[in-house]
Structure 1
Amino acid sequence: MEKKMESNVLNHREEQAGDRLTALGNTLEKVQLVVGSLLLAFFLAVIFFDVVMRESGRPIVWLQDVARFAFMWTIFFGAAIGLRRGTHYRIEILSHINFLKPIVFICQAVFIIILIFYGYQFALMGLERVAMPSGIPIFYSAISIPLAGIFMLYYLVESIRAWASAKKG
């Protein structure tokens, strides 16, 4: 009787932890969607303004750097959200084979950890390099790579937890 009660308490705690994990994931995704949407709108506005200025004979050369930086942030935030929603490309025939799922999770984790590690190294190098002609340090765009990797890792943990819970019960 006592073991059954302990088991129920542990299951309840696991469910609460999973709920908190999902709630935080939902919040992170909403923030990423808002920031990504704003950056995409900003990117499009900058590109439009850049084209207008070039056609009028008064180009503003640093606008392309600003647009590229906004685009990178948008792309990497979108990639993290795509991982969470499971919308990245996969081999459909293999995606339903349950015993392969842990191997897929391991491969994803290795890729994401590499993305974080080398993305961070690249961002640090960007402190010493600037985009030309704007003079903006490349760090400000490159830091989007490891940051998106951190989001991806969180979403992967969330996916693993959901898969393990579904497999259990």
Structure 2
Amino acid sequence: MPTLLHGLSRLNRLLERGLYLILLALLTGFIALIIYQIISRNLPLLPRLYWTEEFSRFAFQWMIMLGTAVGVLHADHFVLEAFPRGSRADLVTRWIRDLACLSVGVIFIVYGKDFALSGLRRHATASGLSMVYVYSVFLISGIFISLFSVQRLLHALYEGMDSMEAALNTPSEIESISESADPHSAELGELAPALNDHDRSAS
């Protein structure tokens, strides 16, 4: 494995672990805020904290965008396979898939920077939080998407698309089912000649 790809893989592995921790914290905070909102509506003793609605919404937005970046690394997004697996058209569409993800990441970086800076002039209504912390989600997500897409493309370039997908893609349930069915069909194929010989000797 080339040095560039090896270094990028190690970096992305660390970033992925950090993203998992951040996503776990965001999910925990999101659930806690939602539970508090439900309880405060039914218990007059608890104060109605309107900023909890904003923070839960902001946490949800960050979870979606950061989760999308992790999904790009492992090809967990929806993919329509229109051509037979292993055909030239199928290989081309798989390259287009990862190039399209890289393009989206670059777009998020280019336009997300100005969008994030526009948040400096805006504040959340209830909490007064600067919206730069919310609007910067596109910029941050674009950086992760670009890094993960470059790793996939470099891996496919150096070692082939099949090797890259085997190393990075989340295993497909359909493919695992078909692979588990293949040994049975192979065993039946091996038993068929023996059964035929037995039938001939019996006759």
TM-score normalized with structure 2 length: 0.70
The residue number in structure 1 matching 2:39 is 52
Match of 1:16 in 2: 3
Matched AA of 1:126: G
User: What is the percent sequence identity of the aligned residues?
Assistant: 26
Contact 2:104/2:142 (CA < 8 Å) preserved in 1? no
Deviations 1:29-51 (A, max 9, x none): 00000111111111110111122
Instruction: Give CA deviations for 1:53-95 in whole Å, capped at 9, x if unaligned.
Output: 1222331111111111211221111000000011001112359
**2:25 — aligned with what?**
38
In structure 2, C-alpha distance between the alignment counterparts of 1:101 and 1:78, rounded to whole Å: 21
Cα distance in 2 for partners of 1:48, 1:36 equals: 18
Which digits, 9 at most, give the CA deviation of each residue in 1:85-123, with x for residues without a partner?
Answer: 110011123595112344333322222211222222221
Partner of 1:120: 113
Whole-Å separation in 1 of the counterparts to 2:83 and 2:116: 35
5+ residue gaps, structure 1: 1-13
* Aligned residues of 1:36 and 1:74 also touching (Cα < 8 A): yes
Residue 73 in 1 paired to residue 66 in 2?
A: no
Q: Distance in 2 between matches of 1:99 and 1:82?
A: 21
Are residue 146 (structure 1) and residue 146 (structure 2) matched? no
Task: Tell me how far apart the structure 2 counterparts of residues 148 and 85 of structure 1 sit (CA, whole Å).
Answer: 15
Match of 1:104 in 2: 97
Q: Is the 8 A contact 2:116 2:135 kept in 1?
A: yes
Between the two structures, name the one with larger relative contact order (CA 8 Å, sep ≥ 6): 1
| Structural mapping, 1:148-167, within 5 Å | 148-167=141-160
| Other structure's SS at 1:126 match | helix
Instruction: State the distance in 2 between where 1:49 and 1:166 align.
Output: 51
Q: Any conservation in 1 of the 2:122–2:131 contact (CA below 8 Å)?
A: yes
CA contact (8 A) 1:54 1:60 kept: no
* Structure 1 SS opposite 2:79: coil
Q: Distance in 2 between matches of 1:94 and 1:25?
A: 31
Amino acid in the other structure paired with 1:61? Y
Structure ID, larger Rg = 2
Residue 77 of structure 2, aligned match among 69, 88, 105: 88
Q: What is the letter of the counterpart of residue 78 of structure 1?
A: G
Measured in 1, the distance between the counterparts of 2:4 and 2:63 equals 30
